[in-house]
Amino acid sequence: MSDEVRAHTALHVLKGAAVEVLGVKWTSGVSVNDSHGRLTLQLDRKPTEDEMRRVEDAANRVITEDVGVEEKVMGRAEAEERWGDLVYDLFPIPESVTELSICHIPGWNVNACNREHCSSTGKIGSLTISKYRYRANKGVLEISFDVG
């Protein structure tokens, strides 16, 4: 399993942790380069250091639990009926797209995503938040992380 696949799967785990701890909903940007990733989320305030520790802890808890990662292709209408707008980020998917590739970590995260993922969260290894930056002018939180 490549570092890039592990880091990409970690994006989904980290998003679930940010939803749980910070109450975020929308992802506005993602980036993966080998074992390093960055997740950019819409947030209306700067998180505390304690909250960011809790985000990292929550992500690593789900990694340690070795939860199965489900990948499925389904009709857009079916995905929306099942999960509503949770399958989307702020990256528009053209209306002409009628089938979505879904990455689902049961009880944790669901997203339309056409990338390759680990079969379970344990294959990520671990996640370390290396840096985070709140950009008040854009209302976004950028979280940089490494998997190992």
Rounded CA gap, 124 and 108, in Å? 15
Strand 27-33: give its sheet, edge to edge: 27-33, 36-42, 140-147, 127-135
Domain ranges, ordered by start, for the chain: 3-147
> Which overall architecture, per CATH, does domain 3-147 show?
2-Layer Sandwich (3.30)
Token pair 């344990």 is found at 122
- For the cut 90, the answer to whether the pLDDT of residue 92 exceeds it is no
Is residue 139 very low, low, confident or very high in pLDDT (cuts 50, 70, 90)?
very high
Could you give the CA distance from residue 35 to residue 83 in angstroms, rounded to a whole number?
30
Residue 1 in this model has a pLDDT that exceeds 90:
no
